[in-house]
Amino acid sequence: MQSVDAREGGYLTDVAYVRQFCKELAPALLRAACSLNGFAPPPADDFDYCELGCGTGDTTNTLAAANPRSRFAGVDFNAEHVAFARDLAARGALANASFLEHDLARLEPEATPALDYVCAHGVLSWISPATRAALIDFAAARLRPGGVLYVSYNALPGWAAVEPLRRLLRDASESVAGTSVDRARHALATARLLSDAGAEYFASNPAAREMLATALQAGPTYAAHEYLGGEWHPMYFADVATEMSARGLRFVGQLPLYLNYRDVTIPLTLMDVLSGVEDRFAFERLKDFAVNEFFRGDLYMKGGPARDAATAAAFLDETTFGTLVPAANVKREIRLRHHVLRYAGDLFDALVARLAERPATVKELASDPALTPFGPDAVRDAVLHLLLGEQITPMRAATGPAPTGYNRAILDQRLSTSSPVVLASAQAGTGIVVPTLHAVALRLLTGVEPASWPSWIRAFVDRQPLRLQAGDRPVGDKNEQARIIAAEVERFRAARLPKLVALGVVDPVG
């Protein structure tokens, strides 16, 4: 089997990429990033969206299910990826998702409808400069005025100290026959031996040790796609932004959202050094050195009105926000790279309880009796902080059918801990990753008559080689396993299910 397809600029095509959902690609989040930076975002509904290098299509399909009145397309040149994506769309009866098997180097803008969103997650650094130019040309040609291109890529200076790890993995993989995964497995083992034996490169580069640990944890399929392709270009923000601006695409912001706020991004010791740098372009260049950036997710807009601070204020005041989890599961402390967001005290207690119960705008929140004492400015600021810590998300009155058919198809597929279960919510316009045990509970609660629940659980534990624990004690006995699963299902039904019903993820049970 051919492991690297030279025709395609060296990106490997013999093994499928890992399945994953990229939450950054949700239009609701892209709109938030534009708005908070003062740029009028593309439409929230009835839009056209294209994901370039869509892999197995899990993100495109989930977003199509969660945005049923909009149209989604995914493009990838790996035939296995596209076949998988099409099959998932068909199983989920998605009429608004389509997939094209095509090389990004040869996209034909004239054959594509006008677009509001173009996204390429984890693509830019792994393709040749010519393919990168074709990708950006395509976005510049097909985006409507005010449309957005999101690109994420390996960034410099962060990768500078780690580039030799890539070289080591590439070189170590060369002597091995077999698939790219076989080669990656051997390369990872070689790097681990060197690191464990105290090789000076790893000893003096903690970042390389961490990156190797990440690759070992993510496994050889991920490592093959990350490190073994023929093209690999970590890039400076300034170089990407310059290529974009040459095609009329201007930088409008970054994801995760908190990175657009210097007071929660820059280490305290560097605040003064950067305080006079007002120009965003100049700031980003320095910021990447201040935080030693490894990976960036940037938004570029085609034309559109000038930046206006009122856009951010209007977004915060008029958007309906809600939680994806019950109040008890909203995190009260978020550790960012250099700062900690804390949601403690009476204001956050009242706010979290209110938003978890029912989505609301800042205006509605400020007039809630539990929150009026704090005043609208404090409420708005607290909402912003919850948003930056990703504990709340923009919501909308769901338009179009609830994606319960798509979610059923997801729940019906073989569950595996290596592929996350991602269910679509039309209210949130995005996907919700649920733990495997919750997916099992949902399968039971939404697909089986209550009278048959005990026998279903018993058949489930008999079928699965489950590794369960009661405290520190491993539980091998099947009767006890069935009792544990039944108790977990009940806990899930009481604590988690109502939220998923409220988010339109599943129909009410019973």
Ligand X SMILES: C[S@@+](CC[C@H](N)C(=O)[O-])C[C@H]1O[C@@H](n2cnc3c(N)ncnc32)[C@H](O)[C@@H]1O
* Binding footprint of ligand X on the chain (CB under 6 A): 8-9, 11, 17, 20, 22, 53-55, 76-78, 81, 103-105, 121-123, 126-127, 131, 225
Sign of torsion over alpha carbons 18, 131, 287, 34 = negative
CA-angle at 310, arms to 308 and 316, nearest 5°: 125
Cβ closest to ligand X, residue 8 vs residue 116: 8
Nearest distance from C-beta of residue 357 to ligand X, angstroms? 34
First to last CA, the chain: 51
Cβ closest to ligand X, residue 103 vs residue 488: 103
Nearest distance from C-beta of residue 97 to ligand X, angstroms? 15
Question: Side chain identity at 505, as an amino acid letter?
Answer: V
Cβ closest to ligand X, residue 222 vs residue 406: 222
Nearest distance from C-beta of residue 201 to ligand X, angstroms? 25
Contact 50, 216 (CB under 8 A): no
Q: Which residue in the shown chain puts its C-beta closest to ligand X?
A: 53
Cβ closest to ligand X, residue 42 vs residue 297: 297
Question: Side chain identity at 154, as an amino acid letter?
Answer: N
Cβ closest to ligand X, residue 245 vs residue 416: 416
Nearest distance from C-beta of residue 74 to ligand X, angstroms? 9
Cβ closest to ligand X, residue 22 vs residue 212: 22
Phi and psi, residue 466, nearest 5°: -85, 140
Cβ closest to ligand X, residue 218 vs residue 277: 218
Give 306's DSSP letter: P
Nearest distance from C-beta of residue 131 to ligand X, angstroms? 5
Nearest distance from C-beta of residue 194 to ligand X, angstroms? 25
Q: How many CB atoms neighbour CB 206 within 10 A?
A: 10
Cβ closest to ligand X, residue 157 vs residue 230: 230
Nearest distance from C-beta of residue 323 to ligand X, angstroms? 26
Q: How many CB atoms neighbour CB 96 within 10 A?
A: 18
Q: How far apart are CA 281 and CA 410, in angstroms?
A: 42
Please name which of 251, 244, 235 lies closest in space to residue 136, comparing C-alpha atoms.
Answer: 244
Nearest distance from C-beta of residue 139 to ligand X, angstroms? 14
255 to 22, 33, 209: CA distances (angstroms): 12, 7, 26
Please name which of 154, 161, 171, 158 lies closest in space to residue 233, comparing C-alpha atoms.
Answer: 154
Give the helix ranges, DSSP H, for 200-308: 200-204, 206-218, 220-227, 237-245, 271-275, 280-290
